Amino acid sequence: MSALRMGRRLPRRTVPRALMALGALVAIGFVAVNVAIGYVVIDGRLDGQWYDVRDLGIGVQELREWLDDRNAQQPGILDFLGQHWISYAVTALLGATGILSIVGGALLILIWVERRLIGRMQIRRGPNRVGPYGLLQPIADAVKLIQKEVLMPRGADKVLFFLPPALIFIPMIVAWGPIPWGAQMAYLDVHVGILFLIAVSSLTTLAIFMAGWSSNNHYALLGAMRTIAMMISYEIPLSIALLSVVLLSGSMQLSTIVEWQSTHNVWLAALLPLAMFTYFFSSTAELNRTPNDIAEAESEIVAGFHTEYSGMKFGLFYAVELGNALFVAALTATLFLGGWSLFGLEEWIPGYLILGAKISAAYFLLVWLRGTLPRFRLDQLMKFAWQFLIPLSLLNLLIVAVEASVFARWEVKGIVSLGLFAIVNWAAAIILVREWARRMGYRPEREAVRQPILTQGVGGLQAARRLGAPEMGTQV
Amino acid sequence: MPAGPRQLSGEAVAAPVAAAVPDAILRATDEWVEVRPERIADVLRFLHDDADLDARQLSNLCAVDRHDRFEVVYHLQSLDRNHQIVVKAIVGEHDEPSLPSATAVYKGALLQEREVYDLMGVRFEGHPDLRRMFLWEGYPGFPLRKDFLQIPEHHPGLPKFPFEESGVQAR
Amino acid sequence: MTAATEPYVLNIGPQHPSTHGVFRLRVVMDGERIQDVEMVVGYLHRSMEKLAEERTYTQNIPFTDRADYLAAMSGNLGYCLAVERLAGVEVPERASYLRVIFAELQRIASHSMANGTFVNDAGAWQTPLMYMFRERERILDLFEMTCGARLTTNYMRIGGVAFDPPEEFYPAIESLVDELPERIEEYAELLVDNEILLARGRGVGIISAEDAINGSLVGPMLRGSGVPWDLRKAEPYCGYDRFDFEIPVGRQGDAYDRFLVRLEEVRQSTKIIRQALDGLPSGPHKTQIPLALRPDPGEAYARVEGPRGELGFYVVSDGGSAPFRFHIRAPSLINLSLLREMAIGASLPDAIVALGSVDIVVGEIDR
């Protein structure tokens, strides 16, 4: 053994046992407190509608009513803003603070989680220097980013360059409003929840285009143009996929969709596989995650629309990227994986923990994709959207529409008809994907896996012709 | 004895070339053939097209400054017959050397001739894009020449960054 | 109504993730389509050829490390062969075997890097690169054991090699050579059939066999275009004719073929190393040469099949102790002769993949 090898060996245990024990204790305590609260909640020890201290939505509603009452008694000086302005302002601030603290906290952990996970996938350790297991790395990153100088390129449009980091943050926060974290635990449980989400998440594009245009940089502009093209293409299959969810569950309200899944004891993922795939794939396209991260394709256009941003402005873009990924995971979990319900287990475990677990699973899938796959080309992605996803999701929508009307009219036992639907939809998904791909000219069996020719002799052009190697210019 | 293990001797190359391109060959040693510089493109064309010599690839092109003259050395390669041919063109002029370009015959000469022009100052007439490559337009002298250090006005090295005030933009 | 777009100039580099160094492309683009491309190099020009004229033959070996810094061993080897040919120095048998072993190790390391960065250029998020670095890291460890350096090895000497490998070298290389085949299969499983890589690599940057020969392309570029040309077979140096290996040749001449050729060459190199280890003779590892070697006036051009292709060294002596002229035939630079043919008309992502498949090393382009 050389000294070299000896020096390589790191001390095995870098974290003391006491610290690990402390962490375990904290975790157990957290779970115990939650179970206790859940027990109290479900048992109804706190009576009345105001039964959950963590219930943001109802708390906000209570507050608004109380404020309205007060306001009606004492007219204020700002009444020209409308009758309820103070209650709306206060509740909005409260809700935004709540979401921001939850999502912000999650982001801090997620940065670490993603880097650790990708590190593991790439046979590295990932961040492990700042704090125990490198847990403080995101904070160190944030401190570094805040300290860095924020540059503005010469020739940039100053106003438009200044706005996007803030503008892009708003849709990310607002979109979290309708997500139900438990029974009656949504901050903004609007009746047209899905419509609201589609509308809000499209706003991100505007900020991205502003950033790309105002940077006065070709890379940024290319990234922005690509984003627009992707958004136009993928918004359609995404909306159609969500529409089939709406058709089957009969509601646009997210809490109702979760309750539908809970009462029928089924996940929509089992019923609508194609819709789920379409939604997930389109979302990765809109999120700029691999394999569809063409808008900020690092190897081509450096960083896309945020090439020119530095310091904490870049940090905001980065955070929004992660936050949007987390949001897509949350929406997938809510719409397709049963949300906060888990086949009756939600009576024993608080709903937000269940949802959190599902979000983590969906998020892990996103990280996994990123750690594994190369990237598509722009035109390939466009082609995939227009020639494949849109027709397929339209056909799927047709099938689901028929099923939904059957489900609404016939009073069969839910388990029978839903089981039938599941079988029909899975079969339809497999057949549709297969046949449509073949229609588009995908013939995997016709092309053998290409292997280089092996030869012993050397030569030039004549030898090349003899080997019959280059069928040049043949399009593949 | 030719230097390379699979190198054709100069005499073996000279005979067919002399038959095809008259008064192009100046000298043939057992290692290389010396060609009249103004005929070099024709000779290369013949070597490239001839079935026996079959020099399909220009494997190396470089120039040597011999104080009073420049040797431009072409290492040609036949892949099918697996032999190497060395051709030299000796340009007597030392201040403004020039000779025909090989780019019409070999696309591989595009960058190599640019490099030779950049560092040695040998002009290749007919090269489509003969510009400085590693150094910038307006760099004083050609650094691989033996007399580079004796250029009176310009001390080698950079007094300041090249585009600092001249406004000259490298293309 | 017609819509027209205006061409614009995009500077790719000198600092760009896909140019692998300080290499710059001026690209005239119309939307995402490339209309014209021009390379701007020289950011890393260190004037090696001029510097070498002031140093003795042995002192010049470190320059060859720094030319192609990803394949220092091949550079060392090519230069030493040229000087040996010039001065008529004989090399002991054991030195030849050691040279083969280290040159092939270097080829594996360099090809791993090339394939990893190629997949990176195609958009993967570092993962294949990291896996390929695992093997490269072990190879660099072997280099470090033997000559104390990992990248700039400065290992070959005129008339042999600098050091005999230490005792612990042999078990380490044995285990590496045993494990390599299955590791390569692992990568092949991950990448060769990857649908996205196929979509990105096939039909991109096609070069026909004729163009490849005429454009002086060498190495995996030439072989990817279907020309079975490998100097280890064509002009065996260091006794490569003793070893049994095959030349991989591409079928269509596109970027994906070059990737496949490099992957296969790693397999073949493993075979060569195994044979060389089995036949490694004992004896001296270098011949003594005078400290200030003064070859007779003359010239020599020696080339080796480096990882990027024919790496040639043209050395002219005037009888002095320093070379009169020292020229490196740099495959990285000359492989770019057909850059315009590959890039014009392609879209930006395709051009990046095509450039990635050329496998340039800027230290060698600029020298």
Q: Does B57 touch chain A (CB under 8 A)?
A: yes
Closest to C136 (Cα-Cα) out of C80, C71, C192, C194: C71
Q: Which residue in B127, B133, B169 has the most chain C C-beta atoms within 10 A of its own C-beta, making it the best mutation to test that interface?
A: B133
Give the residue-averaged pLDDT of C85-99.
Answer: 88
Q: List the subunits that have 3+ CB pairs under 8 angstroms with A.
A: B, C
Residue B168, domain member (yes or no): no
pLDDT value at position A78?
57
| Contact between A463 and B80 using a beta-carbon 8 Å cutoff | yes
| Contact between A371 and C248 using a beta-carbon 8 Å cutoff | no
Query: Could you tell me which chain B residue has the CA closest to the CA of A464?
Result: B80
Domain residues for the domain of C283 are: 8-366
| Contact between C329 and B62 using a beta-carbon 8 Å cutoff | yes
pLDDT value at position A2?
43
Q: For residue C10, give the 3-state DSSP assignment.
A: strand
d(CA A218, CA A224): 10
Question: In chain B, how many domains are there?
Answer: 1
Please report residues of B whose CB lies closer than 8 A to that of A462.
80
How many angstroms separate the CA of residue B134 from the nearest CA in chain C? Answer: 4
pLDDT (tens digit per residue) in A275-327: 888 998 888 887 777 677 777 777 777 888 888 888 888 888 888 888 888 89
pLDDT value at position A84?
64
Q: Which residue has the tokens 């004229």?
A: C53
Q: What's the pTM?
A: 0.82
Token duo for residue A366: 């996103």
d(CA C353, CA C258): 11
Amino acid residing at B98? S
Percent of chain A whose predicted confidence (pLDDT) is above 70: 81
Query: Could you tell me which chain A residue has the CA closest to the CA of B83?
Result: A459
Q: Does A390 touch chain C (CB under 8 A)?
A: no
On the 0-12 / 13-18 / 19+ scale of CB atoms within 10 A, C159 is buried
pLDDT value at position A41?
53
Chain A, residues 283-322, CB within 8 A of chain C, namely 290-291, 293-294, 297-302
Give yes or no for residue A8 having a pLDDT over 50.
no
Lowest mean pLDDT across B128-142, B153-167, C329-343: B153-167
Give yes or no for residue C78 having a pLDDT over 70.
yes
**What CATH number does residue C63 fall under?**
1.10.645.10
pLDDT value at position A7?
42
What is the side-by-side strand order in the sheet with B33-35? B25-28, B33-35, B83-91, B70-78, B57-65
Of residues A10 and C333, more confidently modeled: C333
| Contact between A374 and C196 using a beta-carbon 8 Å cutoff | yes
List CB contacts of B70: < 8 A, sequence separation 6 or more.
Answer: B63, B64, B90, B91, B94, B97, B120, B122
Percent of chain A whose predicted confidence (pLDDT) is above 90: 0
Percent of chain C whose predicted confidence (pLDDT) is above 90: 8
Give yes or no for residue B157 having a pLDDT over 80.
no
Domain residues for the domain of B37 are: 10-134
CA angle C77, C80, C85 (to 5 degrees): 125
Which long-range contacts (C-beta less than 8 Å, at least 24 apart) are formed by B50-54? B50/B16, B50/B20, B52/B16, B52/B81, B53/B8, B53/B13, B53/B16, B53/B78, B53/B85, B54/A460, B54/B78, B54/B80, B54/B81
Q: Does A28 touch chain C (CB under 8 A)?
A: no
Q: b/e map of C189-201 (b: 16 or more CB within 10 Å)?
A: ebbbebebbbbbb
| Contact between C366 and B143 using a beta-carbon 8 Å cutoff | no
Residue C3, domain member (yes or no): no
| Contact between C314 and B62 using a beta-carbon 8 Å cutoff | yes
Average pLDDT value for chain A = 78
SS3 of chain B: CCCCCCECCHHHHHHHHHHHCCCCEEEECCCCEEECHHHHHHHHHHHHHCCCCCCCEEEEEEEEECCCCEEEEEEEEECCCCEEEEEEEEECCCCCCEEECCCCCCCCHHHHHHHHHHHHCCEEECCCCCCCCCCCCCCCCCCCCCCHHHCCCCCCCCCCCCCCCCCCCCC
pLDDT (tens digit per residue) in A342-381: 877 777 777 778 888 888 899 898 888 888 888 888 888 8
List CB contacts of A79: < 8 A, sequence separation 6 or more.
Answer: A85
d(CA C117, CA C126): 8
pLDDT value at position C108?
92
Q: Is the preceding omega at residue C14 within 30 degrees of 0, hence cis? A: yes
Q: Does ipTM top 0.90?
A: no
pLDDT value at position A81?
60
Query: Could you tell me which chain C residue has the CA closest to the CA of B67?
Result: C324
Token duo for residue A471: 């069928």
Closest to A38 (Cα-Cα) out of A61, A63, A55: A55
Q: Which residue in A118, A300, A373 has the most chain C C-beta atoms within 10 A of its own C-beta, making it the best mutation to test that interface?
A: A300
Give yes or no for residue A199 having a pLDDT over 70.
yes
Please report residues of A whose CB lies closer than 8 A to that of B57.
460
With beta carbons less than 8 A apart as the criterion, state whether C136 and C269 touch: no
Smallest Cβ distance to C123: which of A4, A375, A459? A375
pLDDT value at position A259?
84
Question: pLDDT-derived band of residue A251, with 50, 70 and 90 as boundaries?
Answer: confident
Closest to A114 (Cα-Cα) out of A103, A101, A126, A130: A126
Q: Which residue in C139, C192, C251 has the most chain A C-beta atoms within 10 A of its own C-beta, making it the best mutation to test that interface?
A: C251
Question: pLDDT-derived band of residue B170, with 50, 70 and 90 as boundaries?
Answer: very low
| Contact between C314 and B6 using a beta-carbon 8 Å cutoff | no
Give yes or no for residue C77 having a pLDDT over 60.
yes
Question: pLDDT-derived band of residue B169, with 50, 70 and 90 as boundaries?
Answer: very low
| Contact between C123 and A123 using a beta-carbon 8 Å cutoff | no
pLDDT value at position A3?
40
Average pLDDT value for chain C = 87
d(CA A28, CA A39): 16
From first CA to last CA, the distance across chain A in angstroms is: 52
CA angle A11, A17, A18 (to 5 degrees): 140
Please report residues of C whose CB lies closer than 8 A to that of A294.
349
pLDDT (tens digit per residue) in B37-79: 888 888 888 888 888 888 888 889 989 988 888 889 999 888 8
Give yes or no for residue A474 having a pLDDT over 50.
no
pLDDT (tens digit per residue) in A408-441: 777 666 677 778 888 888 888 888 888 888 887 7
**What CATH number does residue B110 fall under?**
3.30.460.80
Please report residues of B whose CB lies closer than 8 A to that of C338.
107
Give yes or no for residue A77 having a pLDDT over 70.
no
Closest to C321 (Cα-Cα) out of C289, C345, C343: C289
Average pLDDT value for chain B = 80
Q: Which residue has the tokens 């005037």?
A: C318
pLDDT (tens digit per residue) in C330-344: 898 888 888 888 888
Please report residues of C whose CB lies closer than 8 A to that of A123.
130-131, 134
| Contact between C327 and B60 using a beta-carbon 8 Å cutoff | yes
Chain A, residues 432-451, CB within 8 A of chain C, namely 449-451
Please report residues of C whose CB lies closer than 8 A to that of A380.
199
Chain C, residues 284-313, CB within 8 A of chain B, namely 298-303, 310, 312
Question: In chain C, how many domains are there?
Answer: 1
pLDDT value at position A411?
67
Residue B72, domain member (yes or no): yes
Give yes or no for residue B2 having a pLDDT over 70.
no
d(CA C290, CA A53): 89
Query: Could you tell me which chain B residue has the CA closest to the CA of A461?
Result: B80
pLDDT value at position A132?
81
d(CA A309, CA A188): 33
Give yes or no for residue C30 having a pLDDT over 70.
yes
Residue B139, domain member (yes or no): no
Q: Which residue in C11, C19, C208, C227 has the most chain A C-beta atoms within 10 A of its own C-beta, making it the best mutation to test that interface?
A: C227
How many angstroms separate the CA of residue A419 from the nearest CA in chain C? Answer: 33
pLDDT value at position B1?
46
Of residues A442 and C205, more confidently modeled: C205
d(CA C222, CA C220): 5
pLDDT value at position A289?
75
Give yes or no for residue C248 having a pLDDT over 70.
yes
| Contact between C334 and B135 using a beta-carbon 8 Å cutoff | no
Token duo for residue A234: 């993928």
Smallest Cβ distance to C334: which of B4, B79, B108? B108
| Contact between A464 and C126 using a beta-carbon 8 Å cutoff | no
pLDDT value at position C3?
65
Which stretch of DSSP H or E encloses residue C125? none
CA distances from A271 to A214, A229, A267, A274, A435 (A): 45, 31, 7, 9, 20
Lowest mean pLDDT across A180-194, A274-288, C155-169, C193-207: A180-194
Question: pLDDT-derived band of residue B150, with 50, 70 and 90 as boundaries?
Answer: low
From first CA to last CA, the distance across chain C in angstroms is: 52
Smallest Cβ distance to A371: which of C125, C194, C247? C125
Question: pLDDT-derived band of residue A52, with 50, 70 and 90 as boundaries?
Answer: very low
Q: Which residue in A216, A288, A302, A375 has the most chain C C-beta atoms within 10 A of its own C-beta, making it the best mutation to test that interface?
A: A375
Amino acid residing at A253? Q
Give yes or no for residue A6 having a pLDDT over 60.
no
d(CA A377, CA A292): 8
Please report residues of A whose CB lies closer than 8 A to that of B56.
460-461
Please report residues of A whose CB lies closer than 8 A to that of C228.
455, 457-459, 463-464, 467
d(CA A22, CA C11): 54
Token duo for residue A367: 């990280």
Q: Does B56 touch chain A (CB under 8 A)?
A: yes
CA distances from A296 to A209, A221, A286, A368, C19 (A): 12, 11, 11, 19, 17
Q: For residue C56, give the 3-state DSSP assignment.
A: coil
With beta carbons less than 8 A apart as the criterion, state whether A235 and A228 touch: no
Q: Does A474 touch chain C (CB under 8 A)?
A: yes
Q: For residue C13, give the 3-state DSSP assignment.
A: coil
Which stretch of DSSP H or E encloses residue C115? helix C93-121
